[in-house]
Amino acid sequence: MNRRPLRRTAVALLIVAAVLALGACESGAEAGSTAPEAGGPSGPAIVAPGRPGEPAKRVSPEEAARLMPDEKPNGSDFRYVQMMIEHHRQALTMTALAPQRAASPQVKLVAARIAAAQGPEIGAMQGWLKNNGGARPMAGHDHHGMPGMATEAQLAELKAAKGKAFDSLFLKLMITHHQGAVSMAAEALSQGNNVLVEEMANDVIAQQTAEINRMRSL
């Protein structure tokens, strides 16, 4: 089970406690309160929530900073983002065929919705990479081996199809493509460490699961 949401909740409580403590400190100073004793804490104490069944404790700001979770990106975070950018790009290649080749208005609408969602997601992931030092080498990695990716032969068949044949093949390939993305996102949640990557992965799971159900209904 992913425990990082609980960890971030504890951090949020620490921050709120710090703000309240600082506010109380400032109010005390305005009221003419005395300075802290020599050798005492360098700043206001912060209430840190304890583990389940354990009482909260008061810590210094320095100790609170040390208790903050380390969410520095790890190799799994970089691998997920770099792979998902390529995964999304193939989805855009597939959806770009729909306006001219699909027969069903519903299939065209699904394709437009996918393109509208995944284009900005690529931009967000590219921005994340830039903010974290750029892409990292992934020796021995083949993008075509990612879960759900269509093969070159399948893409060629899709490009040659038209009408109902296109609709059927598009839905089949895109459902598989989305299932692969959900699998990759779930792996990132279990192995990654960065909160922003976690949020992006959760968005992929929510959006693409909804799209899978929508495509299956067609």
**Model confidence pLDDT, tens digit, residues 161-202:** 999 999 999 999 999 999 999 999 999 999 999 999 999 999
The predicted structure's pLDDT at residue 166: 98
Evaluate if residue 29 carries a pLDDT over 80.
no
Evaluate if residue 112 carries a pLDDT over 60.
yes
Evaluate if residue 34 carries a pLDDT over 70.
no
Evaluate if residue 9 carries a pLDDT over 90.
no
**Model confidence pLDDT, tens digit, residues 114-132:** 999 999 999 999 999 999 9
Phi, psi of 40 (to 5 degrees): -80, -175
> Residue 202's closest CA among 190, 216, 212, 215?
190
- Model confidence at 75, in pLDDT bands (50, 70, 90)? very high
- Measure the CA–CA gap between 218 and 104, rounded to whole angstroms: 10
Give the rounded percent of residues in the chain with a pLDDT score beyond 70. 70
- Measure the CA–CA gap between 10 and 29, rounded to whole angstroms: 28
For residues 11 and 66, the model is more confident at: 66
The predicted structure's pLDDT at residue 38: 47
> CATH fold of 75-217, please?
Ferritin (1.20.1260)
**Which residue spans of the chain are classified as CATH 1.20.1260.10?**
75-217
Evaluate if residue 6 carries a pLDDT over 50.
no
Mean pLDDT of 53-81: 76
> Residue 118's closest CA among 85, 149, 156?
85
- Measure the CA–CA gap between 213 and 218, rounded to whole angstroms: 9
Evaluate if residue 208 carries a pLDDT over 70.
yes
Across the chain, which distance is largest between two alpha carbons, in Å? 82
Evaluate if residue 70 carries a pLDDT over 50.
yes
Side-chain half-sphere exposure of 3, counting CA atoms within 13 A: 4
**Model confidence pLDDT, tens digit, residues 84-97:** 999 999 999 999 99
